[in-house]
């Protein structure tokens, strides 16, 4: 593969990773809405089943993200081995290896854990305030 092909592949993998992450955020918002309107009042078995389904979905996207990330690492290694890389490739590799690349990776990994732990907390420990419960009951009745 040419340097240009490798560079474009690395950028495409980044776009795929971001796409998976946005899907994870969508799953989390759907779960938060479900917790607020339905699962907050459900029995423990329903909550456990909902959490298992949620974790399976999150694990699927996480495993795909890890797959893409491993391919990206291989592509970046091949870019590093390129003789006389172009200025764009040099800057991309320098940026990826800088504090910004590290911070992005840490924030992405941390965000995934925060999302999962947040849904776990909301599903099993959060309770609506009495005012919110009254509003929900009035809407249903």
Residue 132's pLDDT is 65
Per-residue confidence at 141, pLDDT binned at 50, 70, 90?
Answer: low
Instruction: Check: pTM over 0.85? Answer yes or no.
Output: no
Q: Over 70: is that where the pLDDT of 59 sits?
A: yes
Q: How confident is the model at residue 133 (pLDDT cuts 50, 70, 90)?
A: low
| Mean of per-residue pLDDT scores for the chain | 91
Amino acid 127: pLDDT: 83
Characterise 46 by phi-psi region: left (phi > 0), alpha (psi -120 to 50), beta (else). alpha
Q: Domain ranges in the chain?
A: 3-140
CA distances from 16 to 19, 20, 67 (A): 5, 6, 11
Concatenated DSSP letters of 21-60: HHHHHHHHHHHHHHHHHTGGGS-HHHHHHHHHHHHHHHHH
pLDDT at 52: 96
The 10s digit of each residue's pLDDT in 98-124 is: 999 999 999 999 999 999 999 999 999
- pLDDT the model gives residue 25: 96
**pLDDT above 70 (res 139):** no
pLDDT average, residue stretch 80-93: 92
pLDDT at 10 over 70: yes
């Amino acid at each position: 593969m040419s340097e240009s092909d490798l560079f474009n592949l690395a950028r495409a993998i980044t776009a795929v990773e971001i796409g998976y992450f946005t899907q994870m955020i969508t799953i989390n918002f759907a779960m938060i809405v479900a917790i607020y309107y339905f699962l907050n009042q459900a029995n423990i078995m329903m909550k456990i089943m909902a959490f298992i389904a949620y974790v399976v979905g999150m694990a699927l996207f996480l495993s795909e993200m890890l797959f893409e990330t491993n391919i990206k690492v291989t592509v970046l290694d091949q870019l590093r081995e390129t003789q006389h890389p172009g200025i764009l490739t040099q800057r991309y590799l320098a940026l990826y290896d800088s504090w910004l690349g590290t911070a992005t990776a840490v924030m992405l990994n941390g965000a995934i854990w925060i999302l999962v732990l947040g849904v776990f907390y909301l599903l099993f420990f959060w309770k609506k305030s009495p005012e919110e419960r009254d509003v929900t009951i009035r809407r249903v009745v």
